[in-house]
Amino acid sequence: MVATIRIPETEQLVLVITPYAPLSLRASVLILCLICAPIMTIAVVSGLLGNWYALPVSTTVCVVLALAFRSGYRRTQRREVVKLVDRDVSIERGHASPESRCALPREHTYVLLQESSPDAREHLFLCADQQRIEVGEFLDDKERHELADKLRDLVRSTGHFRSMAPA
């Protein structure tokens, strides 16, 4: 999903790019508990009846499920922020806070929507000089095209960008 935010005090335009997150943290934990509770209940009852080896296996299954849920939830919390500041296009990536930042010179930056041969997917890049930075890699094709259009509209409105047609 792409949200466009304009900060009125600084006239700064910010594009916030996040993946689609169907479940909240609370819903994910609830589903995990609904799956693991019966598994652990059966394992404890089996253990009390003398089938003690069911406990470590069931505990391992629940731990692996919890790690999988955590990994999936963390992937939905990724965020890319594209800021158009005075002379730079800044791209910040992270989860709760920016974990990596890079900046491209605004006057040399252009948008490139390109299909790659190994995976037959389109990739959206912000390019300047010799740098190519992929933006919105977790978006589906429709959202990626919408983001490319927003960036191209921004290119036309600022006059500092040049747009490149898909290759």
pLDDT tens, position by position, 57-93: 999 999 999 999 999 888 888 888 888 777 778 888 9
Residues 40 and 83 in one domain: no
Residues 29 and 106 in one domain: no
Query: Any idea what the CATH number is for the domain that residue 83 is in?
Result: 2.30.29
At 22 the pLDDT is 83
Domain enclosing residue 129, as ranges: 2-21+77-163
Mean pLDDT, rounded, for 141-152: 85
Residues 108 and 67 in one domain: no
Number of domains in the chain: 2
Residues 102 and 130 in one domain: yes
Q: Which of 48, 76, 104 is the last residue of a domain?
A: 76
Residues 130 and 145 in one domain: yes
Over 80: is that where the pLDDT of 119 sits? no
| Three-state secondary structure string covering the chain | CEEEEEECCCCEEEEEECCCCCCCHHHHHHHHHHHHHHHHHHHHHHHHCCCCCHHHHHHHHHHHHHHHHHHHHHHHCCEEEEEECCCEEEEEEECCCEEEEEEEEHHHEEEEEEECCCCCCEEEEEEECCEEEECCCCCCHHHHHHHHHHHHHHHHHHCCCEECCCC
Over 70: is that where the pLDDT of 108 sits? yes
